[in-house]
Structure 1
Amino acid sequence: MKHQPAKIAELIAKYKIGELTADERKDLDNWLAIEENREYFKKITGSEGPWDWDHLTGINSGRIWGKINTGLPHQEAVVVKHNFKWKRLIAAASIVVAATTLGWLLWKNTTVRNLNEPAITSIKKDLPPGSDKALLTLANGRVIDLSSAKNEQLAEQTGMIIEKKADGQLAYITKTGNGQPRTNTEPQLTLFNTVSTPRGGQYKVILPDQTAVWLNASSSIRFPPVFTGNTRTVEVTGEAYFEVKKNATMPFIVKIKDMEVTVLGTHFNVMGYEDENEIKTTLLEGSVRVHSLQQQEKNIVVLKPGQQSSLDKNGQLNIANEVNTGQAVAWAKGYFQFKNDDVATIMRQIARWYDVDIVYKSKIPAGKYTGKISRSTQASEVLKMLQLGGIKYEIEGNRLIIQ
């Protein structure tokens, strides 16, 4: 491999979040085999080599950004050209290294900008991150605000106690308290409860059968307080991650728009927001059958772990192999994680989590971004990383304006 500085910056950053391929690791090792490269690597990272990078996860972000602003060489805008010296070009890579210590990767297909150029036009306030908040609507129409409800029994329905646990999650518990999943194969009048999250909210629910569900922002799940009949059927909007309790005699079915996902016991994520072009189902464990209701029997696929199905608006169902399942469920683990995503895709996620409206002053900025950062950070920390790719913005009230 010809050791271009931009490529080395990418390799270092990709290593930080564990996405180096075997060939890429060899390329990085080959580059570090040169003493001058090792010395410069140590200078800009404080590390002997990528094998020592685990200690960087606890570095204070304010100190790192101070290092970026004051410790790097002052220079004009850096553009990768063959006649630049290595050290000047690696200075651009040092930005990526410092950003990586905050949990992010690098920008792609963008120009490294002048370090002295202000990237923010105006910031009138910051945007706090989302939190655990949701509404529980009972079958009788009663609405309970789960974010303000006490950690105690909230209601009782059909022999089930609905309780907000000490850790904040909502749980359906059998009245006998034996902790066994509550199901009933005898058909009866079915009641439904709904848990819904607003923009800027998320919530974990333990269903009557002890299936665990994590709801992302602007999402909902509708389910009965007791599963009856031959299936356990729920309806979802937005995005949810499931860890389904096994029950071979009573399949678990998730309905989302014009699609059904049928499982016996497995871990999977389903995402089908109205402002997204596809409904995506990502399988982590077990096996699921995905069925497009638009084309009935003609459009059924069975997923294996590591696969992802995509249902487009025309009803076409496709499968992608060996997808990054960690990226699909990063939100449930408390992270934003992007991989070659465009600005519009990233901004849709920011809008949901920070409860903000996105406004583009002109056309949507170009470029692909890859990165990972905690969802518990203020919006400015997320946007700070996009600034490295030249994105300018301002916050006015509940609007995030992209220049």
Structure 2
Amino acid sequence: MTLVVKRIAALIVKQLRNELSVEESIELEQWANENVANRELLQELTDNESLRRELIDYYEAEQSKEAVWKKIDEATPETTPVIPITVQHQKKYRYLAAAVTIGAVLTTVAYFWLQQKPKPATTPIAQTTTNDVLPGGNKAILKLSDGKTIVLDNAQNGLLAQQGAVQIEKQDGQLMYSPSEATAAVSYNTLATPVGGQFQLKLPDGTRVWLNAASSITYPTAFTGNDRRVTIYGEAYFEVARDAAKPFKVGVTTSEGAARNGTEIEVLGTHFNINAYSNEALVKTSLLEGKVKIKSDFFNGKQSAILKPGQQAQVEVEGRLKVKDDADMEEVVAWKNGEFLFQSADIGTMMRQVARWYDIEVSYPEGMPKDKFSGKIGRNVNLSQLLKILEYSEVKFELKGKTLIVHN
């Protein structure tokens, strides 16, 4: 039995159990498209319940349980599937890719069937070309204090610019500033990612920053005062370098101006995430490690809260502050880890993330569906592959150019 046969059989069984990852789905689809025989075999093994039952009964009569389990143990690849996407219809849950309980012997049945089935003459199946969108990547623009801009995704590694005593370099997809003790006038730079972009930054004090798509951070080229102060728009994850003598402060702004300018995060040394897009209802500060203090203006009054790890501060547009104790930190930083992760998310929440990463517009001509989704998938897949997973629900998608139309 060849390794190819074992691999394809294992993928077929994983499809029967709805355990295929996106990458495995693509692999199986490519195999099925090689010729008509492969396509017909896949359809027979996955579409005909009576055939599956007949094969199981036949093979169980021929093999002992010990032999079956030995073959399964030897041939089944040890892979961890992605979390299946599920959909919630108001008061009930319907699993889109739930694990179907099929006897483990089915793996061996698939191996047996693949080896024994006659192979007719092969005829290539035509591949259909579909409109698709590539995922985002490392893209950003650096704006220097003199107004000069540098497109970082095209820039080579090495020295990019020098501002005073500070050298600015690009190394392995990260923008880096050399530390400086100079007391000359401080310059300010802005790093901005476009829709469909992300980038990493190492500030002069050693603080590391991850910028999500359609985000920006403004910062000094050297921290010379009594604190370290930066301003962000969009979403950023911080790993702040410790310096008890100089608190690290993050101001939050939006394209709407002063509505959220009163939000400020003060830290000494910590890991946290800030989500402050103008099209989101809340500014969310989520603490993973350390301690932060959140300050907010609320109708000209001051509100503040000190977060502990696992908590999330939520600031409404008008400045009202509340603290959520049980925030899902894995979901919060999924974007930084190269994933989409949804926990009972509505379609609007999902599509805002998708639109920012794939640089598309989203339209709801029949109104926004009420379904809620849960699941995880890598951000490195094409848009069509992501939509293939989501379409297991009753929601349908149509891509016209750079506009994604969502149908009920």
1:112 deviates by: 7.1
Match of 1:293 in 2: 297
In the alignment, does 2:314 pair up with 1:318? no
**In the aligned structure 2, how far is the partner of 1:58 from the partner of 1:306?**
30
CA deviation map 1:323-380 (0-9, x unaligned) = 2111101100100111000001100000000000111121011111011111010011
Amino acid paired to 2:46: L
Gap runs ≥5 in structure 1: 1-42, 76-99, 114-121, 175-181
Match of 1:10 in 2: none
Identity of aligned residues (%): 39
**In the aligned structure 2, how far is the partner of 1:127 from the partner of 1:348?**
16
Match of 1:25 in 2: none
Preserved CA contact (<8 Å) 1:268 1:284: yes
In the alignment, does 2:167 pair up with 1:161? yes
In the alignment, does 2:202 pair up with 1:206? yes
1:68 deviates by: 8.6
Match of 2:277 in 1: 273
Note the 1:18-29 alignment, pairs <5 A.
Answer: none
1:158 deviates by: 2.4
Change (3 A) 1:123 1:274: farther
CA deviation map 1:260-319 (0-9, x unaligned) = 000001000000100000000000000000111345664100000011111011311111
Q: 2:220 aligns with which of 203, 221, 224?
A: 224
1:46 deviates by: 9.2
CA deviation map 1:88-147 (0-9, x unaligned) = xxxxxxxxxxxx93444322226679xxxxxxxx98411100000000000011100000
Match of 1:17 in 2: none
Change (3 A) 1:229 1:348: same
Change (3 A) 1:71 1:261: farther
Q: Per the alignment, in what secondary structure is the counterpart of residue 380 of structure 1?
A: helix
Preserved CA contact (<8 Å) 1:124 1:395: no
Match of 1:72 in 2: 46
Preserved CA contact (<8 Å) 1:273 1:279: yes
Q: 2:264 aligns with which of 254, 260, 264?
A: 260
Q: 2:149 aligns with which of 137, 143, 146?
A: 143
CA deviation map 1:157-202 (0-9, x unaligned) = 121110011x11100014xxxxxxx467x6x633210000000000
**In the aligned structure 2, how far is the partner of 1:252 from the partner of 1:203?**
21
Preserved CA contact (<8 Å) 2:193 2:214: yes
Q: 1:61 aligns with which of 25, 28, 39?
A: 25
**In the aligned structure 1, how far is the partner of 2:94 from the partner of 2:185?**
62
In the alignment, does 2:353 pair up with 1:373? no
Q: Per the alignment, in what secondary structure is the counterpart of residue 347 of structure 1?
A: helix
Q: 1:401 aligns with which of 385, 392, 405?
A: 405
Match of 1:132 in 2: 138
Q: 1:343 aligns with which of 340, 347, 352?
A: 347
Match of 1:105 in 2: 85
Preserved CA contact (<8 Å) 1:235 1:254: yes
Q: Per the alignment, in what secondary structure is the counterpart of residue 293 of structure 1?
A: strand
Gap runs ≥5 in structure 2: 1-11, 33-40, 50-79, 97-127, 254-259
**In the aligned structure 1, how far is the partner of 2:129 from the partner of 2:395?**
14
Preserved CA contact (<8 Å) 1:160 1:172: yes
Q: Per the alignment, in what secondary structure is the counterpart of residue 332 of structure 1?
A: coil
**In the aligned structure 2, how far is the partner of 1:337 from the partner of 1:63?**
23
1:44 deviates by: 5.5
Change (3 A) 1:329 1:70: farther
Q: Per the alignment, in what secondary structure is the counterpart of residue 331 of structure 1?
A: coil
Change (3 A) 1:289 1:64: farther
Preserved CA contact (<8 Å) 1:124 1:394: no
**In the aligned structure 2, how far is the partner of 1:378 from the partner of 1:163?**
31
Match of 1:117 in 2: none
Q: Per the alignment, in what secondary structure is the counterpart of residue 60 of structure 1?
A: helix
Preserved CA contact (<8 Å) 1:158 1:226: no
Q: 1:170 aligns with which of 171, 175, 179?
A: 175
Larger mean Cα displacement after TM superposition, 370-379 or 57-66: 57-66
Change (3 A) 1:254 1:283: same
Q: 1:389 aligns with which of 386, 393, 401?
A: 393
1:73 deviates by: 4.1
Q: Per the alignment, in what secondary structure is the counterpart of residue 356 of structure 2?
A: helix
CA deviation map 1:13-51 (0-9, x unaligned) = xxxxxxxxxxxxxxxxxxxxxxxxxxxxxx954999xxx
**In the aligned structure 2, how far is the partner of 1:310 from the partner of 1:144?**
34
Bigger RCO of structures 1 and 2 (CA < 8 A, at least 6 apart) = 1
Note the 1:10-25 alignment, pairs <5 A.
Answer: none
